[in-house]
Amino acid sequence: MNKITILIHCNDRPNIIASVTNFIAHQNGNIVYIDQHVDREQNIFFMRLESEFGSKSFSTEAFKEAFKDVLADKFDMKWRIYSSEKKPKMALFISKYDHCLYDLLGRYNSGELNLEIPFIISNHNDLKSIADNFKIPFFHVPVTKDTKNEAENEQLRLLEEHGIDFIVLARYMQIVSPKLIDKYDNKIINIHHSFLPAFVGAKPYHSAYKRGVKIIGATSHYVTEELDAGPIIEQDVTRVTHAHSIPDLIAKGRDLEKIVLANAVKLHAERKVMVYNNKTVIFS
């Protein structure tokens, strides 16, 4: 059984859903999931559809060509079609924090994440043993002020050599340059703490403790050139009180970071995220 996922956005107009579903029927496909959303302010139509095809002669490339000729050009669609036969390849970028790395690798090892991890990149050697334990290739690419350009070229080489589809910054403590962002537009996922109010600097939990915050949280988003301002994929919060110490806040924050990042990775890998005007539409 061949299964594909179709993502569409275009200007809203009558007959889009009927045209798409009729096209699937004419291709002898069986729709097993369909959802749509209309942004009334922008007049933009979004759709996610999953369809199965039983014919042994089914070709994803031939289907794409027909889809373009019959539908995409007619409705001026921005569209993508993915085959379930190809798992997306994810590269992990890490530094010295291990909580998100352990969580993602544990989920990957148990089969929870429908993707491949060809390698892990780090600007430090501290977590190499974790990669070794999970039998995933580890590349140490040091980054300094003087070697940053050279390091990014090496990162790009590895990404292209292994056919990487998207990158996850699992607490990677380096600013990603426009060179990498342009190559992987809306395909680099970051995780960081989020507070009300926001606390910047090296010790945000210490600042939050001193301020007496009542809520701490985590945000996962796509990376853009504007720091921590990319389209948001997933967020979560938990309440804290005066009784919680700084270590308590750090522990709670790290738990949130793990869960939020894992959910963001799953949403992206399962093709459930669409980006438009620095916002996301997340399908169930």
Q: Are 128 and 94 in contact (CB under 8 A)?
A: no
Known active-site residue 236: no
Instruction: Name which of 253, 256, 251, 250 is nearest 236 in CA terms.
Output: 256
Q: Is the peptide bond before 178 cis (omega within 30 degrees of 0)?
A: no
Whole-number Cα distances in Å, 25 to 15, 29, 33? 15, 5, 14
Query: Of 202, 238, 189, which is closest to residue 217 (Cα–Cα)?
Result: 238
Residues 88, 91, 97: CA angle, nearest 5 degrees: 135
Instruction: Find tokens 């069986």 and name the residue.
Output: 30
Phi then psi dihedrals of residue 270, to 5 deg: -90, 10
| Residue among 228, 236, 248, 255 flagged as catalytic | 228
Rounded Cα–Cα distance for residues 217 and 194 (Å): 5
Per-residue CA distances from 40 to 13, 45, 178, 284 (Å): 12, 9, 32, 20
Q: What would the two tokens of residue 186 be?
A: 């809306």
In angstroms, the CA 171 to CA 99 distance is 9
158-to-105, 135, 139 alpha-carbon distances in Å: 20, 18, 9
Q: Which of 105, 144, 104, 80 is nearest to 273 (CA)?
A: 80
Catalytic residue annotation: 228
